[in-house]
Chain A
Amino acid sequence: MQFKLNVRRYDPEAESPAPYWREYEVDVPANATVLDCLIHIREYVDGTLAVRCSCRSAICGSCMMRVNGQARLACATKATDMQESSEAITVEPGGNMPVIKDLIVDMDVFWNKIRQVKPWLEPVQPVPEREYLVPNETILDLTVAMNCIMCGACVSDCTSLEVDKNFIGPAALAKAYRFVDDPRDEARQERLEELSDYGGVYDCTHCFFCVEVCPKGVAPLERIVEIRERAQSAGVTNNAGTRHAVAFEGIIRDSGILDEPMLLLKSIGMNPVEQLKNVPGGVRLLRAGKLPLASGPFHHKIPGHGNVQRLFEKVEAAQEA
């Protein structure tokens, strides 16, 4: 079967290196994957095409790239599924990581973030002579996080990382969950505190892209939310993220409408230095007309806000039941 691929190329050794597109036509079996197409190109059409690949069965994580605009494993993506009408299949390197050559990106960025979460077990002492006894349900839960093959698809398409390089990111946070959730790990509390800090679980914007692109069902966002819940129940609340969540809930409950300046003040907490740091941002909001001065900087309660309170009470009652 014939497929057309439009591949984003980059040669760092060119005279003035710049990305460019190159179209290829390949004749491969109908059930070929996008990786099969790329290997065919490399082996028989154009040996200069650089691509990382190894297992061909979605376990090694080498061939993450963007196909038709979304991060995928090329080896787990059927070419027929990507061929929309007569348009060529577009193939690009993964995002949020610098390109080295063609479809090969520099994954140091990725691994540095993984290392940041101290990704190894700190065994609970004393270490038993035999294995630790762990309920199988816990193992099944941990298996979801251990399914991660570190392909970088979630990092490639993470919208938070795109604007905030400091964010630890979905893969590293899912990895961190694997330890936070492990009853054999002694550093749980310390981990929860670090993960709740700046750059951690609260810097995720819930765009769900990581859940959508993960080829292994790790669903990093869900792991992130679980870390938050564990942190809050472990009393790790002295951080902007928790204050933000608590303030958000309180403001809505009280007035039925989100009061952004109040939310900001409450999230920062009673720290004059931090508050001062946010003054320039406030000025920018004001200039952009995003602070409604006419009604004063702070909102009034909406009419009938008692109904909102009753909604809260209903939800809480349902949770208790």
Chain B
Amino acid sequence: MLEHDVLVVGAGLAGMQAALHAARQGASVAILTKVHPVRSHSNAAQGGINAAMEEDDPWEDHAYDTVKGSDYLGDQDAIEVLCSEAPETIIELEHMGVIFNRGSRGQIDMRAFGGQARKRTCYIADITGQVLLHVIYEQLMKAGTTVYEEWFVTSLVRQNDAVCGVVAMDLRSGELHLIKAKAVVLCTGGAGRVYEPSSNALICTGDGYAQAYRVGAPLMDMEMVQYHPTTLPGNGALMTEGARGEGAFLINADGERFMQRYAPNMMELASRDVVSRAEQTEINEGRDINGCVLLDVRHLDRNIILQKLSQIRELGLEYEGVDIIEEPCPVRPGMHYMMGGIKTDIEGATFVKGLYSAGEAACVSVHGGNRLGANSLLDTLVFGKRAGTSAVLYADAISTPEIPESRLQQDQELINGILARDGESGERAAELRLTMGQTMHQDVGVFRNQRGLEKAKNIVAELKERCQNVGVDDKGKVFNTDLLFALEVGLMLDVAEAIVASALFRTESRGAHYRTDYPDRNDDDWLKHTLVYARLSGRAGDGGPRLEALPVTITQWQPARRTY
């Protein structure tokens, strides 16, 4: 049987960082990932990574901007960790070989990003995530860490109230394996595919959320779903906030810079939730251009566009046929990021022993109701390191678990069941996902209300029923991507259920969660996190998820009215 002290699931920035730091403690560490590490979605982060690097910029200012950006839902102890450890994280990356863009003295340069009072974003053109991901992978190659590449976790193994391994499929052979691990670290990223459209990659299916939820770990603030203000209408691809950081305008059908009516001080660089709501309001009130507003960089210096925004210029050309140097590009708010996730403490520990998490999969919570642009890369690295390190401490203190080989059987039976139905007689996974995605976008998007959420809840419940009967065309073992997708859709439906339940629970508007039936922030009742637990099978209850509230940790910044 395969066996490790620490098994990290997912090989984006958080996962590789966790593995590297766990390995430095001398533990036996492996990473398991459903795609090759450099295919991970950390690649897609374009604009940069925040850190208070300059002498006249205390980290507390970065923390304040983050707290305010979170609409006071972020836990301030966690935000203090995030921001105070940011500068050393950047230096560590630079020493590893990350090629940050430089200022006149050769020092790391800063660019402006949304929701922040000053320039604080380190960057490499508009390929920051890609460079970070590739450089961390260089370190992983150097360390010679074991990688189960193109493997997929079908379930977490929980015994005696602790997670002690996984059942996983080697996609290349199609074989199921049991992997024993004293600690499992979930760094499985977000769940963009639960929505249609989304800026996220096809692999972002929220596997970790659902796997944790299924073994009883609560998910926190799942209603906080970030819509990015500038995604392309065609395929949902992201146009970096860095464009607005460099001075881009947002204009409506009347040619008006409409942000002056919503955020007169910060204008286009207000927080993402604020800008997305403003855009959606313009669109809903008819000042749109085919359901979009326009991102305009024509007034920027051509060389700035070519050097600092070259990738989004390519994206505009490729997917919209628009050269941003010559004409404005249509954009609209698009589902982009999950602020919520598997509830962890600041060491990455979840509520279930042996189970850790970091990155977008986790909710520490540093982003609260709304994440600031360029804080996500930072989150993956700061808390990836902590999760990896604390997983080793835990693993060192316990003995190797015993898991019966027969544990494989229940997963094998689930798979055999799917293989026994074909795409004709069974349900088609693609249809289930599309219905789910469109429902979530329509009723659990930028604006929400009780009626729409109840509707979404019923549709998701019905889709979960239908998913019991999902079938596949491919009956083979080798790279059965048909089967993989069917399994992913099952996981995504659990994530959708958790999001809808949490959105129904929070009867106020805060950050990205805007209820038209409860349009105000309500600190008296709702300065709280939502925790959602799955009803584990075999236990009493109505079958739906169970919700709880958890107080927000406040250290030095008292909640105040939030304007930009």
Which A positions have Cβ atoms within 8 angstroms of B? 11-13, 31, 39, 42-44, 46-48, 50-62, 76, 78, 100-102, 104, 107, 114-115, 119-121, 123, 127, 130-136, 139-140, 142-143, 146-150, 179, 182, 184-185
Other-chain residue from B109, B134, B321, B479 in contact with A146 (beta carbon distance below 8 A): B134
Complex Cα distance A61/B482, Å?
21
Q: Which residues of B contact A51 (CB under 8 A)?
A: 481
User: Contact at B99–A143, with CB atoms within 8 Å?
Assistant: yes
14 A-B pairs (CB sep. < 8 Å): A43-B428, A44-B428, A47-B473, A48-B473, A53-B202, A58-B315, A59-B44, A60-B39, A60-B44, A107-B36, A120-B138, A121-B96, A148-B134, A150-B38
User: Contact at B138–A146, with CB atoms within 8 Å?
Assistant: no
User: Contact at A139–B102, with CB atoms within 8 Å?
Assistant: yes
User: Contact at A55–B41, with CB atoms within 8 Å?
Assistant: yes
Complex Cα distance A20/B397, Å?
55
Q: Which residue of B lies closest to A107 (CB)?
A: B36
Q: Which residues of A contact B94 (CB under 8 A)?
A: 131-132
Q: Which residues of A contact B247 (CB under 8 A)?
A: none
B103 an interface residue at 8 Å Cβ cutoff?
A: yes
Of B125-133, B402-410, B493-501, the one contacting chain A is: B125-133
User: Contact at A62–B318, with CB atoms within 8 Å?
Assistant: no
Q: Which residue of A lies closest to B174 (CB)?
A: A13
Other-chain residue from B99, B130, B479 in contact with A50 (beta carbon distance below 8 A): B479
Given A50-B481, A54-B41, A60-B201, 14 extra CB contacts under 8 A: A44-B428, A44-B430, A56-B235, A57-B44, A60-B35, A60-B40, A120-B97, A120-B141, A121-B96, A130-B91, A132-B106, A139-B101, A146-B99, A147-B127
User: Contact at A48–B91, with CB atoms within 8 Å?
Assistant: no
Q: Contacts A56-B237, A76-B318 known; A115 to B141 CB distance under 8 Å? A: yes
The 10 closest A-B pairs by CB, nearest first: A47-B473, A133-B106, A121-B97, A43-B430, A47-B482, A136-B102, A120-B138, A57-B237, A48-B474, A120-B142
Complex Cα distance A57/B172, Å?
25
Q: Which residues of B contact A119 (CB under 8 A)?
A: 138, 141
Q: Which residues of A contact B38 (CB under 8 A)?
A: 60-61, 149-150
Complex Cα distance A148/B38, Å?
11
Complex Cα distance A54/B200, Å?
9
User: Contact at A140–B476, with CB atoms within 8 Å?
Assistant: no
Complex Cα distance A147/B46, Å?
12
**What count of chain B residues pass the 8 Å CB interface test?**
64
Q: Which residue of A lies closest to B103 (CB)?
A: A136
Question: A131, A134, A142, A146 — which one has the most chain B CB atoms within 10 A of its CB?
Answer: A131
Q: Which residue of B lies closest to A121 (CB)?
A: B97
User: Contact at A11–B476, with CB atoms within 8 Å?
Assistant: yes
Query: A93: shortest Cβ distance to chain B, in Å?
Result: 12
Inter-chain contact total with CB atoms closer than 8 Å: 162
User: Contact at A140–B202, with CB atoms within 8 Å?
Assistant: no
Query: A202: shortest Cβ distance to chain B, in Å?
Result: 25
Q: Which residue of A lies closest to B480 (CB)?
A: A50
Please classify the interface of chain A as helix (H, G, I), strand (E, B), loop, or mixed, using the class held by over half of its residues: loop
Complex Cα distance A132/B44, Å?
26
Query: A180: shortest Cβ distance to chain B, in Å?
Result: 13
B562 an interface residue at 8 Å Cβ cutoff?
A: no
Query: B141: shortest Cβ distance to chain A, in Å?
Result: 6
Query: B103: shortest Cβ distance to chain A, in Å?
Result: 7
User: Contact at B139–A120, with CB atoms within 8 Å?
Assistant: yes
Q: Which residues of B contact A182 (CB under 8 A)?
A: 97, 99
Complex Cα distance A78/B319, Å?
9
User: Contact at B97–A62, with CB atoms within 8 Å?
Assistant: no
B100 an interface residue at 8 Å Cβ cutoff?
A: yes
Query: A213: shortest Cβ distance to chain B, in Å?
Result: 16
Query: B98: shortest Cβ distance to chain A, in Å?
Result: 9
Q: Contacts A58-B318, A133-B105 known; A146 to B131 CB distance under 8 Å? A: yes
Complex Cα distance A55/B428, Å?
22
Question: B139, B202, B473, B474 — which one has the most chain A CB atoms within 10 A of its CB?
Answer: B202
Query: B302: shortest Cβ distance to chain A, in Å?
Result: 15
Q: Mark B292-319, 1 if CB is under 8 A from A, else 0.
A: 0000000000000001000100110011
Complex Cα distance A293/B131, Å?
57
Q: Which residues of A contact B423 (CB under 8 A)?
A: 47
Complex Cα distance A121/B96, Å?
6
Complex Cα distance A53/B481, Å?
11
Query: B202: shortest Cβ distance to chain A, in Å?
Result: 5
User: Contact at B43–A60, with CB atoms within 8 Å?
Assistant: yes
Q: Which residues of B contact A43 (CB under 8 A)?
A: 428-430, 485
User: Contact at A62–B35, with CB atoms within 8 Å?
Assistant: yes
B539 an interface residue at 8 Å Cβ cutoff?
A: no
Complex Cα distance A149/B40, Å?
11
Query: B74: shortest Cβ distance to chain A, in Å?
Result: 28
Other-chain residue from A48, A52, A139 in contact with B476 (beta carbon distance below 8 A): A48
User: Contact at B106–A143, with CB atoms within 8 Å?
Assistant: no
Query: A101: shortest Cβ distance to chain B, in Å?
Result: 5
Complex Cα distance A7/B163, Å?
44
B107 an interface residue at 8 Å Cβ cutoff?
A: yes
Restricting to B451-468, which residues have a CB under 8 Å from any CB of A?
none
Query: A216: shortest Cβ distance to chain B, in Å?
Result: 9
Complex Cα distance A44/B434, Å?
12
B95 an interface residue at 8 Å Cβ cutoff?
A: yes
B24 an interface residue at 8 Å Cβ cutoff?
A: no
User: Contact at B124–A146, with CB atoms within 8 Å?
Assistant: yes
B7 an interface residue at 8 Å Cβ cutoff?
A: no
Q: Which residues of A contact B480 (CB under 8 A)?
A: 50
Q: Which residue of A lies closest to B482 (CB)?
A: A47
Q: Which residue of A lies closest to B307 (CB)?
A: A140
Restricting to B314-328, which residues have a CB under 8 Å from any CB of A?
314-315, 318-319, 321
Other-chain residue from A52, A55, A133 in contact with B43 (beta carbon distance below 8 A): A55
Complex Cα distance A76/B314, Å?
10
User: Contact at A100–B95, with CB atoms within 8 Å?
Assistant: no
Q: Which residue of A lies closest to B471 (CB)?
A: A47
Query: A72: shortest Cβ distance to chain B, in Å?
Result: 12
Other-chain residue from A44, A62, A133, A142 in contact with B39 (beta carbon distance below 8 A): A62
Query: A52: shortest Cβ distance to chain B, in Å?
Result: 8
Complex Cα distance A55/B477, Å?
25
Q: Which residues of A contact B36 (CB under 8 A)?
A: 62, 107
User: Contact at B473–A46, with CB atoms within 8 Å?
Assistant: yes
User: Contact at B479–A104, with CB atoms within 8 Å?
Assistant: yes
Q: Which residues of B contact A130 (CB under 8 A)?
A: 91, 107
Complex Cα distance A119/B35, Å?
20
Q: Contacts A131-B94, A131-B100, A149-B130 known; A136 to B106 CB distance under 8 Å? A: yes
Complex Cα distance A147/B124, Å?
10
Query: B520: shortest Cβ distance to chain A, in Å?
Result: 37
Complex Cα distance A120/B142, Å?
7
B251 an interface residue at 8 Å Cβ cutoff?
A: no
Restricting to B16-70, which residues have a CB under 8 Å from any CB of A?
35-36, 38-41, 43-44
Q: Contacts A47-B423, A127-B95, A133-B107 known; A42 to B482 CB distance under 8 Å? A: yes
Q: Which residues of B contact A52 (CB under 8 A)?
A: 35, 39
